[in-house]
Amino acid sequence: MKIDKEILKKIYLTAFKIRKVEEEIADRYKEQEMRCPVHLSIGQELVPAVYSMFVTENDYAVSTHRAHAHYLSKGGSINKMIAEIYGKETGCSKGLGGSMHLIDEEVGFMGSTAIVGGTIPVGTGLGLSIKIKQENKISTVFLGDGSTEEGVFYESLNFAAVKDLPVLYICENNMYSVYSNLEVRQPKNRKIYKLAESIGIKSSHANGYDVEDCYMKLEEAINYVKENKKPFFIELDTYRYREHCGPNYDNHIGYREEQEYKKHLEKDPLNIMKEYLSDESLDIEEKKILEKIDDAFTFAKESQIPKYENIEKYIYKEKN
């Protein structure tokens, strides 16, 4: 591979952390202590793991209902995320938001939402604030292929193009919006990244299951935004292993074939990276990650639930 082995190791360990956090969520979900829906990114970890190599805590990012991977790749607190999913006051949204409403301003993760496309204008607005303040950072908007069918997608990209905003739009195309594939939702032969390009934004496409392609194209995209202070749109093909919402597998219900799932499983980037690295120290690092994840669940379970009298306390954030 063209990627330095030490960098590849960091990418792998970030992807491993994301997957193991979510697999633990899936395993424990049946205990009925997490009383919110969960949209898992198992199978889609490579894109955020690679992304994490090129940004800092100073940069902004916003996400979708499927936000765990992006939150963690940006350096968000595992303890606060798990506590939030358990609805505890130590959660990143004080236990009032749940899985789809994550935020960690300390690392520049500025929020996620259950509304499809809802954070696209938010991330675009953050890009405008960066330009007005002349700050040396970028804003990233993570979105899925389904959100490109929302009006706010076009409005936001048009605004970013007209105003030359330092916004990176990362479209993780996992081919499905709930149970509907692209063929029944969008015109045949239309490429999403070409659609963004027609709006006036420099765009590219990459295989989100190929670590080299993903790395090179994301590096190019992020460097373009940082150096030119202009927007960039990148579409990456990926795939989710679990159901749209929930901890289970759903290949049996008919909207996708078992063979399709197996095809993607065979080229799982985590397995490919680990086999290539063949690094004995990985086992030690993996063990440390698993211990931190276990500690996070203990922290969440031992935390207190929010007090009813504080229900309005966090609606507005007071400015100093």
pLDDT by 10-residue block (mean), the chain, 320 residues: 93 98 98 96 98 98 98 98 98 96 97 96 98 98 96 98 98 94 88 96 98 98 98 98 96 92 95 91 95 98 92 72
Per the structure, how many domains does the chain have?
1
Q: What is the pLDDT of residue 281?
A: 86
Q: Do 141 and 60 form a contact (C-beta atoms < 8 A)?
A: no
Q: What is the pLDDT of residue 320?
A: 59
User: In b/e form, how buried is each residue of 171-210, taking b as 16+ CB within 10 angstroms?
Assistant: bbbbbbbeeeebeeebeeeeebbebbeebebbbbbbbbbb
Could you tell me which of 236, 225, 109 has the C-alpha nearest to residue 168? 225
Q: How far apart are CA 69 and CA 51, in angstroms?
A: 11
Q: How far apart are CA 216 and CA 78, in angstroms?
A: 28
Q: How far apart are CA 256 and CA 269, in angstroms?
A: 21
Q: What is the pLDDT of residue 317?
A: 66
- Indicate whether 313 belongs to any domain: no
Structural domain for 198, as ranges: 5-296
- Indicate whether 92 belongs to any domain: yes
- Indicate whether 308 belongs to any domain: no
- Indicate whether 302 belongs to any domain: no
- Indicate whether 96 belongs to any domain: yes
Q: How far apart are CA 169 and CA 148, in angstroms?
A: 11
Q: What is the pLDDT of residue 123?
A: 98
- Indicate whether 317 belongs to any domain: no
- Indicate whether 231 belongs to any domain: yes
- Indicate whether 189 belongs to any domain: yes
Q: What is the pLDDT of residue 305?
A: 95
Residue 99's domain is classified under what CATH number?
3.40.50.970
